[in-house]
Amino acid sequence: MKTNGADYPQMPARCWTGIPAMPPEWPGCGSRELRNGESAENAKKIEQCLAYMKQNLDKPLQVSTLSVLTRVSPSYFFALFKRATGHTPIDFFIHLRMRRACELLAETNLSVKEVAALLGYDDQFYFSRVFKAVNHIPPGRYRALHEQPLPVPRSRVVEGGQDANGNGVAVVSWPGNGRHQKSRIVHCI
């Protein structure tokens, strides 16, 4: 696996949540329920559960709640959901939360603590452990890899010089996400 030099894997353009992209015709995993011979009624039950999950990313989830929603026993619901999606309900829910976390980290300036709170995690450190377990990278590093570069006029060269090999280098500085300035050493050609 390629790394970026800091022992973190290089991230693809999307989150590594393990859940396939959700096509519009089925909020779960495409037409999987038809391949598995699930009835239209069971598919509708799963769709209801997925809609419930997406609307309640900020709340704790229990399989018993979903089984009541679908009017089936918890054990039957668990098996039905796993057959239809390929994931357990809780695993699927965690991955949905982490997908939303990726979106929030990449598209907003919310802190990791704020993202954790928005997704129903009281403990930002537990959220960070779950995020790293799912995406193979800590949330702060994920955000850093997905930051949009600022336009050149907002950056400025702070100082220039040469490295140990005589190559030209410069320290470039630009405004960060908050009070802090960011800077990076740039090798000049």
pLDDT band at 56 (very low <50, low <70, confident <90, very high): very high
CA 84 from chain centre, in angstroms, equals 22
pLDDT digits (tens, 9 = 90+) for 144-169: 888 765 444 445 555 566 666 666 65
Sheet holding 181-187, edge to edge: 156-162, 168-175, 181-187
User: Could you tell me how many helices (H) and strands (E) the chain has, helices first?
Assistant: 8, 3
Longest distance between any two alpha carbons in the chain, whole Å = 72
Residue 24 pLDDT > 80: no
- Using alpha carbons only, give the angle 19, 23, 25 rounded to the nearest 5 degrees: 130
For the chain, what are the domain ranges? 32-146, 152-187
Report the sign of the C-alpha dihedral through residues 159, 163, 166, 170, in that order: negative
Question: Which of the residue ranges 17-21, 23-27, 178-182 has the most confident prediction, judged by mean pLDDT?
Answer: 178-182
- CATH class, domain 32-146, is mainly alpha
Per-residue pLDDT at 162: 63
Amino acid symbol at 35: R
Q: How far apart are CA 145 and CA 168, in angstroms?
A: 25
pLDDT band at 94 (very low <50, low <70, confident <90, very high): very high
> What stretches of the chain show up as alpha helix (H) in DSSP?
32-35, 40-55, 63-70, 74-85, 89-107, 112-118, 124-135, 139-146
